[in-house]
Amino acid sequence: MPGFSSGAGAGYGAALAASKRWKARREGRGPLRKGLHRETELRGGIDDRLAALLSQEERDAVMAPIGQARTLPAGAYASDAWFALEVERVFARRWVGVRFTCELPGAGDAQPFELFGMPLFALRGTDRRLRVFHNIVPYDGCLALLEAAQGLREIETCYHGLRYDLRGRLVAAPWWNGNPDAGREAFAGRDVDLVEVRSEERIGVLFVNLDGSAEGIDDWLRPWRALVGSDYAVDRLVPARDPAGLPLIERRTVQANWKTYQENASINLLHEAFTHAIYRRSPEVPRVAPDGAPRFELSMAGALVAFAHSRQMSGKTYDPIRLPSAGHDSAVQPEWGYFTTLYPNVNLPLLDAFAKVNLAIPVSPGVTELRHLRVYAPEALEDPAFQREERLVQALFDTIHHEDRIAIEAVQRARGSPVRRGRYYAPFWDRLHHRFNQLVMADMECS
């Protein structure tokens, strides 16, 4: 990963320094950087590294008012060099959703995973806190955790037998100095603990901030909570579960850039009437009233890019879900539904009885891993009709994802055309897309 992996020693040092910086800020010994995307920060210029990937003219076109603006150039979706810089300037500095917290419910539950080519693992401690570590033993450079586990009391590494507690601290190094009872004192002050990555649990998602510099996560989430919180009781919603009680987590892979997916998922309004059967049969879609007014309301604040629709606006577009509400009163369905994106990689539609959390995890310029989880009010899971209704919702989303995948992958394939550069926007529909691309560009300019 750029900024972390310019040689093994430099990579370890950068990761260790990032870990120490955010721990110092958490303990009140250093400043915490505010979010990058206040309105006043959506302007700037390009440095040499970004200039190698796009021209000043292309940059200015992205940041122009929507009537004159162009989207990001095709290379932003297909270039290895752009992707590498994006990992460093977008994903290392931002809160990134990587897993669902219900995947690791108990103390000692652990799961290794890769993010941008880096081996990491998540581990829930005896204090119930979920932590993320670089999956590297400082002494021998081997993976610390080889496979998912449940109920660990400590981590015993496979290569040289070093043992770590559930907070990543070295507790034993048998025979390291010839002594079968050797501990951390044998290392004479060297860095011996696993390197922790800044992480937080919110809204059922495990978030990481790789370089430790992002704003506080509650500040990052505040615009989203302000938008949806009056209608939905988001903090009491629980994961959908199958008849055996296991979380219903879906995993997909799309052959498309992460931005191609995000631009479609909860931002693109116009495509609904042409891509999806459920919307083609609705008289309220496209979302335009007879007098030409939009049947949606936009919200753009900080990392939030979203649109809302009231019951009156959406009419009979959506079939009723016969389960207790996800609102503050389980007997009353919310008046508003939302399609929300939390830049960069999370999107959450909320409608009546559920919210659906989607994580778009970039794998390469043209591949994105998707993880999905629906959450409901606890009363919904206790309803005798839950499994039947959930299967109906699942079938609907299977169809929607299939329809979206066809379009998303077609757009991605078109990135290779010599005539495909930045395209223009439809101002009536594309203000969210315009904002999303400007957020990307603003991050890419922060050298």
Q: What tokens were used for 220?
A: 């990052």
pLDDT at 388 over 60: yes
- 177: Cβ–Cβ under 8 A, 6 or more apart, which residues? 186
**Is 81 domain-assigned?**
no
Strand 336-342 to 346-351 pairing: antiparallel
Confidence of residue 275 (pLDDT cuts 50, 70, 90): very high
Q: Give me the phi and psi of 7, to 5 degrees please.
A: 95, 145
For 227, counting Cβ atoms within 10 Å of its Cβ (0-12 exposed, 13-18 middle, 19+ buried), the class is buried
- Asked, for residue 36, whether it belongs to a domain, the answer is no
The first and second tokens of residue 254, run together, are: 């799309």
**pLDDT beyond 50 at 6:** no
In total, how many domains does the chain have?
Answer: 1
The answer on pLDDT for 7 being more than 70 is no
Query: Which of the residue ranges 27-41, 48-62, 248-262 would you say has the lowest mean pLDDT?
Result: 27-41
Peptide bond just before 174 cis, omega within 30 deg = no
What is the pLDDT, as a whole number, of residue 23? 67
For residue 374, being part of any structural domain is answered with yes
Query: Is residue 189 scored above 80 in pLDDT?
Result: yes
Q: Tell me which DSSP letter residue 39 carries.
A: G
Residue 283: Cβ-neighbour burial (10 angstroms; 0-12, 13-18, 19+): exposed
Average pLDDT over residues 326-330: 97
User: pTM for the full model?
Assistant: 0.92
Length of the chain equals: 447
Instruction: Give the span between the Cα atoms of 341 and 423, in whole angstroms.
Output: 22
Measured in whole angstroms, the distance separating CA 274 from the mean position of its chain's CA atoms is 27
CB 209 within 8 A of CB 198: yes
The verdict on residue 440 lying in a domain is yes
CATH of the domain at 436: 3.90.380.10
7-11 contacts, C-beta under 8 A, 24 or more apart: 8/141
Report pLDDT for 2.
44
pLDDT band at 5 (very low <50, low <70, confident <90, very high): very low
Does residue 438 lie in a domain region?
yes
Residue with tokens 């007098």: 291
pLDDT for res 10: 45
State the Cα–Cα distance between residues 237 and 234, nearest whole angstrom.
6
Q: Which two tokens stand for residue 368?
A: 């994105």
- Nearest one of 364, 398, 399 to 280, comparing CA atoms: 399
Distance CA(322)–CA(389), nearest Å, equals: 7
Q: What is the pLDDT of residues 164-183, one digit of tens each?
A: 999 999 999 999 999 999 99
Task: Report how far residue 196's alpha carbon sits from residue 19's, in angstroms, rounded to the nearest whole number.
Answer: 6
3-class SS at 243?
Answer: coil
Residue in this structure with the two tokens 């590297």, named with its chain if needed = 136
Structural domain includes residue 338: yes
3-state SS assignment for residue 80:
helix
Task: Identify which of 428, 404, 289, 417 has the alpha carbon closest to the alpha carbon of residue 347.
Answer: 404
Residue 69 pLDDT class (50, 70, 90 cuts): very high
Asked if residue 423 belongs to a domain, the reply is yes
* Residue 426 belongs to a domain: yes
Q: Which domain holds residue 255?
A: 214-444
pLDDT above 90: residue 16 = no
All residues at 6 or more sequence positions from 269 whose CB lies less than 8 Å from its CB, including other chains: 286, 287, 296, 307, 429, 432
Beta-bridged to residue 298, according to DSSP, are 307
Render 137-172 in DSSP notation, one character per residue. Answer: -TTT---S--S-BSS-SSEE-TTT--EE-TTS-EEE
CA separation for the pair 42, 447 (Å, rounded): 14
Q: What is the rounded distance in angstroms from the CA atom of residue 261 to the CA atom of residue 436? A: 12
The model's pLDDT over 145-167, given as tens digits with 9 standing for 90+, comes to: 999 999 999 999 999 999 999 99
Residue 31 has which token pair?
């400043």
Higher per-residue confidence, 15 vs 370: 370
The whole-angstrom distance between residue 414's C-alpha and the CA centroid of its chain comes to: 25
Q: Which two tokens stand for residue 216?
A: 């506080």
Place of tokens 């997909």: 252
Cα 114 to Cα 108, 159, 200, 391, distances in angstroms: 20, 20, 18, 31
- Residues 87 and 100: their CA atoms lie apart, in Å, by 21
User: Around Cβ 253, how many Cβ atoms within 10 Å?
Assistant: 12
Mean pLDDT computed over every residue of the chain? 92
pLDDT of residue 418: 85
For the ranges 9-23, 76-90, 390-404, the lowest mean pLDDT is seen at: 9-23
